[in-house]
Structure 1
Amino acid sequence: MGRLIGITADVYLGATDVINQKLMDFVPRPLVDGVIAAGGIPVGLPNLPVDKVNQLIENLDGIIFPGGPDIDPSFMGQEPIPELGVTNRNRDLFEIALIRTAVAKKIPIFGICRGAEMIDVALGGTLYQDLGSQYSGKLIQHKQQAPGDQPTHFVRVDFNSRLYKSIGDNVFVNSRHHQAIKSVANGLKVVATASDGVIEAIENDDASIQAVQWHPENLWKKDSQQLTMLRNFVERTDIKVI
C-alpha cells in the first residue's frame, strides 16, 4: 500500500453552484495528481477543530500544506497592515495545530507557498505581511503575470541541503505570492533564495520539515526536478515514528 499523504484543504468562503454548498473545502487537483505520480496516496484534510488533530493524524504518513490566503498576523503578535489580503483564521488554527503535532510525532511535512509561511509561523518565525511595502531591498516580480504553469525566476539552492539533492541549483520556478518568510523559526534553515534575497525554501536538518515558496504542483508535469522533489518527500514518510 502506498504512503497516505494528507493535503490540507483551502476553503471557498462564498457559496458555490454545487448543491448550494457554502464554505466548501477543496484541495488543488494538480497537487493530488502530483502526489499520485510521486508514489503516494493523497487524502484531503478538511479544516477541523483543533481537538480533533491528534485523532486525524494517526493514520497519515506525511502531510502537505498547500497555498491559499494570507496568514492572520495575530499569530506573529502583529496588527494587520492595509496591504494584508484575505485571511481565514479557522484554517490557520487548524494548520498550526496540525504542524506542531506532526513535528512532535516526527511525521514529515512539506509546505507550498502559504504552506511554507504557515510552517514557519507555527514554529515561531515571522513573515512580511506584504513584500512590496515591507521589504527593504529591490524586489524582482514575485506575483507573476505569466500563466501559473510557467516558471518566471530562478532560485539559488544551498549545496549542503537535502533540497539540493532533489533539484540541484539555479532552479527555474513559478511565483505567485506577496507574503514571504522574514525570520526563520528555530530549528529551520534557509536553503534557497531568489536573486533579491527573498527566502524561497526552508528545511530542518533531516528534511522531515521542508517547504518551498513556489508551486511545484503546477510544474511537475514538465519539470522532472519538481516531481523528484515530491517523490523524495513521499519517500521520507517511510521514516515516520509515532
Structure 2
Amino acid sequence: MTGALTERPLIGVSSYRDEAAWGVWRQPAALIPQSYVEAVERAGGLPVLLPPQDPAGAARVLARLDGLVLAGGPDLDPAAYGAEPHPRTGVPQPDRDGWEFALARAALDSGLPLLGVCRGMQLLNVVLGGDLVQHLDPPDHQVAPATFQWQEVATAPGSRLAAILGSQAKVRCYHHQAVGRPGEGLAVTARSTDGTVEGLELPGERFVLGVQWHPETDPTDPRLFQALIKESTQ
C-alpha cells in the first residue's frame, strides 16, 4: 500500500485560514471543504493543503508538488484589477489573495499543472491582467446561500475542456461574480446559456485550466480532476 501511495502525484490545494469549531475549541484554523480532498483522492492524487502563508515561499512549496488546485472561496480584492468595490463584493482577505497570487504565478512560471475552481479561475484571470464582473444580476448562478445551482455549459470546439467534457456539460455553480475581460493569453472555452464565462484555459501550456463551477461537489463526474492528475504524472 505504501508503494502505491508514493506513486500518486502530490496535488496542492489552496485553502482557507478562518475560524472553525471542533470539540471544545473555536479558534483560527487552516481548512478546506472535504469535497476537494475527496475529489483529488478519487482521481488518484494525494492532496496537500496550502493555507495562506508568506508568499515568498510559494515557489519553494510548489517545487515539491506535482500539481495545483486553486480552490473556491471569498471575493478577490477589486484593487487587484484596478476597480472600486461593488456594494455586493465581499470583504477582502489580503492574506489569502497574496498567497494565492504567488502560487498562481509560481505555477505559471514553472509549468506546474494548474486547475482553478470558481475563485481560482477568477484569480488566474486577474493574475494574467484580466478583470471581473463584481456582481451578476439577476443571480442565476447563486440562487440561495449555500445552494449549488445546476447550469448547462457549452465548451469551445477544439479546446482542452471540450476534449475532457465533450461539447456540453451539466455543472454545479455557486458564484455571484464572473470573468469580465480575459487575461493575457487566456481563451474563453466554456460559457453558460446566458453567456457567462464558465471556463478559461491557456493554449499551448502543459495544463492551465479554470472553471467557474464546482466540479469537486459532483462525485459522479471526476473527469476534470482525472485530467489534472493524468497531466501531473507526466
Normalised TM-score (structure 2) = 0.90
User: Which position in structure 2 is the counterpart of 1:215?
Assistant: 214
Matches within 5 A, 1:98-109: 98-109=103-114
User: Which position in structure 1 is the counterpart of 2:53?
Assistant: 48
User: Which position in structure 2 is the counterpart of 1:227?
Assistant: 222
Deviation at 1:146, TM superposition (A): 9.4
> 1:18 and 1:130, CA in 2 relative to 1: closer, same or farther beyond 3 A?
farther
Unaligned runs of 5+ in 1: 133-138
C-alpha offsets along residues 13-57 of structure 1, whole Å, 9 cap, x if unaligned?
x35345645331112211111111111111111111111112211
Deviation at 1:210, TM superposition (A): 0.2
Percentage of identical aligned residues:
32
Task: Answer yes or no: is the 8 Å Cα contact 2:136–2:178 preserved in 1.
Answer: yes
Task: Answer yes or no: is the 8 Å Cα contact 2:139–2:176 preserved in 1.
Answer: no
- C-alpha distance in 2, partners of 1:140/1:27? 25
**3-state SS, counterpart of residue 156 of structure 1:** strand
Give the letter aligned to residue 113 of structure 1: C
C-alpha offsets along residues 214-238 of structure 1, whole Å, 9 cap, x if unaligned?
111111x22xxx3122101111123
**Match status 1:184 vs 2:176:** no
Aligned match for 1:89, one of 73, 89, 94: 94
Task: Answer yes or no: is the 8 Å Cα contact 1:11–1:23 preserved in 2.
Answer: yes
What is the RMSD of the two structures over their aligned residues, measured on CA atoms? 1.9
Aligned match for 1:2, one of 8, 13, 20: 8
> 1:47 and 1:129, CA in 2 relative to 1: closer, same or farther beyond 3 A?
same
Q: Report the count of equivalent residues.
A: 227
- C-alpha distance in 1, partners of 2:147/2:160? 26
**Deviation above 6 Å: which 4+ runs of structure 1?**
none
Task: Answer yes or no: is the 8 Å Cα contact 1:66–1:115 preserved in 2.
Answer: yes
> 1:146 and 1:49, CA in 2 relative to 1: closer, same or farther beyond 3 A?
closer
> 1:164 and 1:148, CA in 2 relative to 1: closer, same or farther beyond 3 A?
farther
- C-alpha distance in 2, partners of 1:70/1:112? 13
User: Which position in structure 2 is the counterpart of 1:135?
Assistant: none
User: Which position in structure 1 is the counterpart of 2:124?
Assistant: 119
Matches within 5 A, 1:152-191: 152-191=150-189
Give the letter aligned to residue 184 of structure 1: P
**3-state SS, counterpart of residue 142 of structure 1:** coil
Task: Answer yes or no: is the 8 Å Cα contact 2:8–2:46 preserved in 1.
Answer: yes
Deviates more, 1:105-114 or 1:23-32: 23-32
